[in-house]
């Protein structure tokens, strides 16, 4: 271990200090956004409850003989550990949940399941639930930024790795662990946090999110029982950072990176404020393009004209992720710039997950429109941006840039989330929205009752 770092004085301490911030120290704007994440998570969880992975995991939960005190989406109740795992997987089954691009992962599905599972058993209020999620999400983001691209590029899924540390601290806050117990919980989590990108495209991907939540619950519960761990959970010799990146051992360069990660620290600044939400039931890398095309159609009555060409410039990282030129299945459509652009011009709702069928991939009208789409990778375009040029008959050209990271009011965000709820839940959305309108008196038990509805 280099002399420039000492884990007790740096990463662990900073994470712990974040997790024990008093409610009044948490910015109102960040709490409001965390409430929006609760709505989004519940939408995704209820919408995903019929997915095959959801059905299989509910069957697995029935084998658990421990105390049943925590609710499962579309099921009964089980242990906190198992409920966290099942709900994390169910809410990520549709891949319709939020993304934080700096963290490189999904926050709500890896943390809210841990929070709700323990909140039901501790008689917590919705306000306590949201506060615990917020500090856990911020901890996961800061940890994800510290691990950096080297961790992600090696094949780790940060929803489940960095996310597990956030879930641990959120769970520890609900259990009211003291700072020493929180340190042990982080150390125990370091031995458990895991998740691989090789699972993408399988049921294993949503299970990764469930493992984040369940690992957080178990690490916090272990610590509450007095189980101890090493103090250097993240930055110590042979700790998580050294073993899960190309670092090897912590040195001066890592010290500089740590300082950069903690620039503008909470409570003054929350990186969670850059959280991004999905309003289209497809790969998040395509959303900037879809938003740009929709803005073009809204700005003028160009929808009556057939586009001659659609040119997209996007970050090169997306070229191997969501640029399937001729999708063969409904799932592949979700990863096809060309087909999704065609859907926009054909008037299809990209927000309705039910539309992404194999028949959609065989739609000749969409195939004709998709053939007009040209996609180019451009390193000057950020992950969350898209540049779109549409040429219409007669030579008219319209160019539009869209940046998903551009700030929008929480009021507008909530309006869009309400529309999302109605698109994916139908009439059921009314009961969800009505429940959350009573936020000031809402309890975790009431949220659990809603989750268990068939």
CATH code for the domain in which residue 235 is found: 1.10.4100.10
The whole-number pLDDT of residue 141 equals 97
Q: Say whether both 178 and 253 belong to one domain.
A: yes
Residue 327 phi, psi (nearest 5): -65, 145
CB-CB contact of 410 with 32 (8 Å): yes
Q: How far apart are CA 85 and CA 106, in angstroms?
A: 15
pLDDT per residue rounded down to tens, the chain (454 residues) = 233 344 435 788 999 999 999 999 999 999 999 999 999 999 999 999 999 999 999 998 888 756 678 999 998 899 999 999 999 999 999 989 999 989 989 999 999 999 999 999 999 999 999 999 999 999 999 999 999 888 988 899 999 999 999 999 999 999 999 999 999 999 999 999 999 988 987 899 999 999 999 999 999 999 999 999 988 888 788 889 888 987 645 555 566 777 888 889 999 999 999 999 999 999 899 999 999 999 998 876 654 567 899 999 999 989 988 999 999 999 899 989 999 999 999 999 999 888 999 999 999 999 999 999 999 999 999 989 999 999 988 788 999 999 998 878 889 999 999 999 998 999 999 999 999 999 999 999 999 999 999 9
Q: Say whether both 389 and 259 belong to one domain.
A: no
Q: How far apart are CA 73 and CA 76, in angstroms?
A: 8
Q: Say whether both 363 and 335 belong to one domain.
A: yes
Q: Say whether both 228 and 84 belong to one domain.
A: yes
Q: Which two tokens stand for residue 66?
A: 């421990």
The whole-number pLDDT of residue 263 equals 86
Q: Say whether both 186 and 298 belong to one domain.
A: no
Any domain includes 30? yes
Q: How many domains does the chain have?
A: 2
The whole-number pLDDT of residue 384 equals 92
Q: Which residues pair with 307 in a beta bridge?
A: 392
Q: Say whether both 305 and 427 belong to one domain.
A: no
Nearest to 45 by CA among 139, 113, 100, 101: 113
The whole-number pLDDT of residue 87 equals 98
CB-CB contact of 362 with 312 (8 Å): no
Q: What is the CATH number of the domain that holds 360?
A: 3.30.1330.120
Buried b (16+ CB within 10 A) or exposed e, 343-381: bbbeebebbebeebeeebbebeebeebbebbebeeeeeb
Any domain includes 412? no
Q: The domain containing residue 223 runs over which residues?
A: 7-276+423-451
Q: Which residues pair with 100 in a beta bridge?
A: 105
The whole-number pLDDT of residue 4 equals 38
Any domain includes 32? yes
Q: Say whether both 17 and 104 belong to one domain.
A: yes
Any domain includes 200? yes
Q: Say whether both 220 and 346 belong to one domain.
A: no
Using the structure block, give the residue that is written with the tokens 């409570």.
267
Nearest to 280 by CA among 351, 360, 352: 351
Q: Which two tokens stand for residue 152?
A: 């992600």
Cβ-Cβ contacts under 8 Å for 419 (sequence gap 6 or more): 279, 351
* Cis amide leading into 292 (omega within 30): no
Does the global pTM surpass 0.85?
Answer: yes
- Burial grade of 401 (CB within 10 A; 0-12, 13-18, 19 or more): middle
Q: Say whether both 303 and 432 belong to one domain.
A: no
The whole-number pLDDT of residue 302 equals 54
Q: Say whether both 332 and 206 belong to one domain.
A: no
Q: How far apart are CA 278 and CA 286, in angstroms?
A: 10
Q: Say whether both 321 and 251 belong to one domain.
A: no
The secondary structure of 406-441 as a DSSP string is S---HHHHHHHHHHHHHHHHGGGHHHHHHHHHTGGG
Q: Say whether both 259 and 378 belong to one domain.
A: no
Is the four-CA dihedral 354, 355, 360, 361 of positive or negative sign? Answer: negative
């Amino acid at each position: 271990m280099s002399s420039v770092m000492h884990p007790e004085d740096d990463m662990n301490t900073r994470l712990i200090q974040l997790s024990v911030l008093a409610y009044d120290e948490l910015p109102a704007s960040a709490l409001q956004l965390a409430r929006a994440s609760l709505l989004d998570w519940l939408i995704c969880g209820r919408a995903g409850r019929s997915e095959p992975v959801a059905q299989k995991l509910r069957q697995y939960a029935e084998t658990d003989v421990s105390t049943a005190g925590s609710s499962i989406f579309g099921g009964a109740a089980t242990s906190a550990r198992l409920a966290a795992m099942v709900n994390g997987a169910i809410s990520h089954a549709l891949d319709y949940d939020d993304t934080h691009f700096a963290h490189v992962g999904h926050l709500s599905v890896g943390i809210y399941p841990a929070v709700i599972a323990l909140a039901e058993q501790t008689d917590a209020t919705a306000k306590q639930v949201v506060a615990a999620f917020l500090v856990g999400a911020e901890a996961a983001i800061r940890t994800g930024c510290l691990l950096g691209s080297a961790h992600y590029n090696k094949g780790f899924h940060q929803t489940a790795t960095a996310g597990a540390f956030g879930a641990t601290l959120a769970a520890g806050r609900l259990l009211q662990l003291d700072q020493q117990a929180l340190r042990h919980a982080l150390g125990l989590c370091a031995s458990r946090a895991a998740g691989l990108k090789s699972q993408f495209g399988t049921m294993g991907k949503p299970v990764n999110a469930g493992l984040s939540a369940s690992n957080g619950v178990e690490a916090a519960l272990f610590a509450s029982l007095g189980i101890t761990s090493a103090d250097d959970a993240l930055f110590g010799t042979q700790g998580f950072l050294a073993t899960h990146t190309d670092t090897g051992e912590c040195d001066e360069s890592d010290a500089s990176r740590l300082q950069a990660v903690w620039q503008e620290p909470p409570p003054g600044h929350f990186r969670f404020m850059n959280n991004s939400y999905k309003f289209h039931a497809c790969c998040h890398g395509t959303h900037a393009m879809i938003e740009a095309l929709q803005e073009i159609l809204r700005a003028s009555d160009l929808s009556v004209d057939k586009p001659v060409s659609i040119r997209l410039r996007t970050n090169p990282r997306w070229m191997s992720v969501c640029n399937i030129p001729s999708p063969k299945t409904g799932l592949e459509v979700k990863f096809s710039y060309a087909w999704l652009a065609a859907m926009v011009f054909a008037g299809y709702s990209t927000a309705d997950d039910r539309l992404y069928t194999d028949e959609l991939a065989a739609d000749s009208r969409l195939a004709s429109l998709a053939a007009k789409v040209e996609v180019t990778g451009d390193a000057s375009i950020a992950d969350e941006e898209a540049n779109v040029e549409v040429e219409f008959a007669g030579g008219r050209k319209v160019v539009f840039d869209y940046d998903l990271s551009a700030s929008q009011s929480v009021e507008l965000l909530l309006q869009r989330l309400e529309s999302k709820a109605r698109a994916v839940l139908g009439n059921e959305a009314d009961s969800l929205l009505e429940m959350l309108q009573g936020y000031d008196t809402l309890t975790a038990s009431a949220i659990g009752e809603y989750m268990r509805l068939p």
